Amino acid sequence: MTESLSECGKSRSEAFTVDLSSFGIREGISETIVSTGLESPNAAPIGIIVKGGRTFVRLFKGTHTWENVFKEKHLAANIVYDSLLFVRSTFFDLEPSEFDYVPARGLNFPVLKEAAAWVIFECVNLKDTDQALVADLIPVEAGFNEANRKNLPVPNRGFNAVLEAAVHATRYQLTEDEKYIELIRSYESLASRCGGENEKKAMKLIYEVLGL
Amino acid sequence: MTESLSECGKSRSEAFTVDLSSFGIREGISETIVSTGLESPNAAPIGIIVKGGRTFVRLFKGTHTWENVFKEKHLAANIVYDSLLFVRSTFFDLEPSEFDYVPARGLNFPVLKEAAAWVIFECVNLKDTDQALVADLIPVEAGFNEANRKNLPVPNRGFNAVLEAAVHATRYQLTEDEKYIELIRSYESLASRCGGENEKKAMKLIYEVLGL
């Protein structure tokens, strides 16, 4: 990485500036799908946190993302509007064919073909706690995929319900607390009323994963 | 309106075709802010429903939107990513200065300055029921506002929580059922954890309106 920076004669701080808000990453938690893994690409839904001007991420121990970030100190946040992709990447490995590779700091970094945009971050100030790794994020490269921006995203309560159901499904897997099943069922009803085909498929997949 | 169509020598069906999905309006319910009212512009959050190839809308009786559509047979669906604007237009009249006017069928139709895009529909096959008006929608004009598309929207559970809270707040106003207050409080917590400044302001406004 340092080689690549030396080659273009720029110091690290001059190498790249990006207005994160133009990529949609702003105060609060932006729900993205994070891709990592230079050798074997991996993707999982992860929130990019912006709080008081600091951009950081919390990664749970034992996950592929955690392992890859620990080793490679980079991650890509992919902006995605496909509820089924959020659910698939929550519970399953995506196909290698679903990744593109973009150059960043002399690396070929995996991003999602389906992303409307992606931001590659360097992970610094890694803090390892009992359950999670917290890392500050410095953007090093970013891009839009104009083809995926063609169809404007519009707020859809069905899409939102799928995100909530996926969050509660992972909590159910960890705790087996039945209250999460109740929540998931109520979000299923919302997804079915307000969502499209994709939201229905996504909820069906959550039900399959949980054996409902 | 017929005059304007005659002027350009096109039949109604040839006058305009729009791929609604490129404006984000697709199968399911798209949460837009609908503007109406040629003389006195009005805006309110309303879902545009697409089901089995049919695009339609359900408008509750006694609302300004219902009155305007009944009279003028047109509405504009504005694609908006501002949670505070959703809440403000749920409970209050927007300022006249928040509207732009665009030409459509010889009319100067009000749309929202804040919209990333808007689609003006003609409302046909109006069916009046006890509580609501159902109208089929035919797109007659549409446009993007590139300045408002600059910042990519990213899924945010805080933004989504504000939409849910606004829905439950209107239900509470109609029924005074305390179960809605419980739901609103839980969405407030989500908006506060995952949202930005706008989501915090929007939830504060909902609390003020409900006297919480």
Distance from CA of B2 to the nearest CA of A (A): 31
Do the Cβ atoms of A160 and B156 come within 8 Å? no
Do the Cβ atoms of A24 and B160 come within 8 Å? no
**Cα(A170)–Cα(A206) distance, rounded to whole angstroms?**
10
DSSP B40: S
Do the Cβ atoms of B117 and A196 come within 8 Å? no
Task: Give chain A's residues under pLDDT 70.
Answer: 1-16
Q: How far are the Cα atoms of A24, A96, A137, B130 from residue A20, in angstroms, in the given order? A: 7, 27, 11, 49
Do the Cβ atoms of B154 and A21 come within 8 Å? no
Chains A, B: CB contacts under 8 A, how many? Answer: 113
Distance from CA of B34 to the nearest CA of A (A): 13
Q: What is the pTM of this model?
A: 0.91
pLDDT means per 10 residues, chain B with 212 residues, are: 33 61 94 96 98 96 93 97 98 97 94 97 93 95 92 95 98 96 97 97 98 94
Contact call for residues B24 and B55 (beta carbons, < 8 A) = no
Residue of B nearest to A150 (CA): B22
Q: What is the pLDDT of residues A63-94, one digit of tens each?
A: 999 999 999 999 999 999 999 999 999 999 99
Q: What was the pLDDT predicted at B151?
A: 85
A147 touches chain B (CB under 8 A): no
**CB proximity under 8 Å: B 18-47 to A:** 21-32, 47
B170 touches chain A (CB under 8 A): no
